[in-house]
Amino acid sequence: MRNKYSIFSLLKNAFSYHENWEKAWKDPEPKKEYDAIIIGGGGHGLATAYYLAKKHDMKNIAVVEKGWIGGGNTGRNTTIIRSNYLWDASAGLYDHALKIWESLSQELNYNVMFSQRGVMNLAHNLQDVRDLKRRTHANRLNGIDAVYLNTDEVKKFCPIINTSPNIRYPVLGGTLQRRAGTARHDAVAWGYARGADEMGVDILQNCEVKGIKRNADSVEGIETSKGFIKSKKIGVVAAGHSSVIANMAGLRLPLESKPLQALVSEPVKPIIDTVVMSNAVHAYVSQSDKGELVIGAGTDDYVSYSQKGSHDIVEGTLNAILELYPIFSRMRMLRQWGGIVDICPDASPIISKTSIKGLYFNCGWGTGGFKATPGSGDLFAHTIANDEPHKLNAAFNINRFVSGDLVDEHGAAAVAH
């Protein structure tokens, strides 16, 4: 590696007051032609470029980003990582990602601050209890660690939860995946960008895609704010704006883009050392290393690209948070924001070829794409390089909406993905 990060490089650079660190990635001008172009410089897009270069020996690659890398949903999510999905296809996909997370900092030589602090999902009614028990069994059959906890065990694992039977939605139990946790979202984008750049990938920021040039059955390149760029392979990883790009190619996707909100509190001393999610009351919470409570709310039910959500959604989430954690009643919230998430009718992603040769889509991650970043990039790179899906993403093809072979994860994922 050109400039390996280590205790020695830290010491060496200390002598020059840390003013001479090499740039982690370059800022090149676009070439005329690439072997592959990835549209979207978020975690998934950068990971795709990284694995294309690393595992498929494609070096002439560009990542095209409208704003700056990691500035979209990669920088806006609540950083939860888990793989306890119900169906076999999803379990394969998300656990593939989780396994890569476990050694990602070492592989990238970049600390992504992956912290396996566990994720607990709460049950608030009898149907929740049945669903979560079923999911626990399904997870274990797929080799994914999962345990079911009763109310006392929930309280023991996270003592600040109000487990009184007299609250509106009492805690009847929960599941725990101990290998799950959180990571530093910006570091994931930066680490993949640095790794991809090192292998010769061009990262083109402030380069907006204006159109996709195609002939009858294949793609020829993209029209951008920095001119026309030729390529026979184009991978689109544009999250909430996937439909916008699809419309440029004359393609329709089964997506709706909606605002999803999150908020953080003022920083406080360590109080919650895990991630607790509750689908039934739309609330999930963890604590960042800076000490802020990181709280995820739900989506609005209307299509919008405005990157702001409705106040009543936040209010509903905070009501639930306060009932579950009375200790937070005097916390002040510092920031609130929205990201645009592209939701599939079956709440599962699309990592697929399309009817147009050379055009690939990785989209529909909805409210829960961050956790899959490394796996998604790996499998999408495989799909682009071989023009065939990997067996782990074969079920997530776009044709499932024609065949009816959906991967319905609403039950396992719902809002709190």
- Interface positions, 344-363, toward another protein (CB under 8 A): 345
Cα 199 to Cα 176: distance, rounded to the nearest angstrom: 39
Contact predicate 374/102, CB 8 Å: no
| DSSP code, position 308 | -
Binding flag, residue 165, another protein (CB under 8 A): no
Task: Report, in Å, the least distance between residue 246 CB and another protein.
Answer: 8
Binding flag, residue 11, another protein (CB under 8 A): no
Cα 199 to Cα 68: distance, rounded to the nearest angstrom: 20
Binding flag, residue 15, another protein (CB under 8 A): no
Rounded to 10 degrees, what is the CA torsion of 28, 30, 31, 33?
140
Q: Which is nearer to another protein, 125 or 247 (CB)?
A: 247
Q: Which is nearer to another protein, 169 or 401 (CB)?
A: 401
Q: Which is nearer to another protein, 46 or 415 (CB)?
A: 415
Sign for the pseudo-dihedral over CA of 24, 28, 30, 31: negative
Task: Report, in Å, the least distance between residue 151 CB and another protein.
Answer: 33
Task: Report, in Å, the least distance between residue 308 CB and another protein.
Answer: 8
Task: Report, in Å, the least distance between residue 341 CB and another protein.
Answer: 12
Q: What are the φ/ψ torsions at residue 391 (nearest 5 degrees)?
A: -65, -25
Neighbours of 264 (CB within 10 A): 19
Question: What is the distance between the terminal CA atoms of the chain, rounded to a whole angstrom?
Answer: 36
- The piece of 97-105, 320-328, 380-388, 398-406 that touches another protein (CB under 8 A) is 398-406
Contact predicate 174/330, CB 8 Å: no
Task: Report, in Å, the least distance between residue 238 CB and another protein.
Answer: 11
Task: Report, in Å, the least distance between residue 51 CB and another protein.
Answer: 28
Contact predicate 416/284, CB 8 Å: yes
Q: Which is nearer to another protein, 158 or 246 (CB)?
A: 246
How far are the Cα atoms of 159, 164, 258, 296 from residue 325, in angstroms, in the given order?
10, 11, 28, 15
Q: Which is nearer to another protein, 81 or 253 (CB)?
A: 253
b/e 134-160 (16+ beta carbons within 10 angstroms → b): ebbebbeebebbbebbebeebeebbee
Q: Which residue(s) pair with 295 in the sheet?
A: 263, 285
- The piece of 119-127, 274-282, 373-381, 397-405 that touches another protein (CB under 8 A) is 397-405
Binding flag, residue 19, another protein (CB under 8 A): no
The strand pair at 219-224 and 227-231 is best described as antiparallel
The two structure tokens encoding residue 401 = 């909406």
What's the longest Cα–Cα distance across the chain? 66
- Interface positions, 234-273, toward another protein (CB under 8 A): 241, 243-244, 247, 252-257
Binding-residue total with another protein (CB under 8 A)? 27
Task: Report, in Å, the least distance between residue 215 CB and another protein.
Answer: 22
Q: Which is nearer to another protein, 104 or 260 (CB)?
A: 260
- Interface positions, 104-133, toward another protein (CB under 8 A): none
Q: Which is nearer to another protein, 215 or 306 (CB)?
A: 306
Binding flag, residue 395, another protein (CB under 8 A): no
- Interface positions, 301-330, toward another protein (CB under 8 A): 301-306, 309-312
Determine the distance from the C-alpha atom of residue 283 to the mean position of all C-alpha atoms in its chain, rounded to a whole number.
18
Cα 143 to Cα 395: distance, rounded to the nearest angstrom: 19
Task: Report, in Å, the least distance between residue 396 CB and another protein.
Answer: 15
Binding flag, residue 5, another protein (CB under 8 A): no
Q: Which is nearer to another protein, 187 or 351 (CB)?
A: 351
Q: Which is nearer to another protein, 24 or 333 (CB)?
A: 333
Neighbours of 312 (CB within 10 A): 9
The strand pair at 181-182 and 283-287 is best described as unpaired
Task: Report, in Å, the least distance between residue 229 CB and another protein.
Answer: 22
Q: Which residues bind another protein (CB under 8 A)?
A: 241, 243-244, 247, 252-257, 300-306, 309-312, 342, 345, 401-404
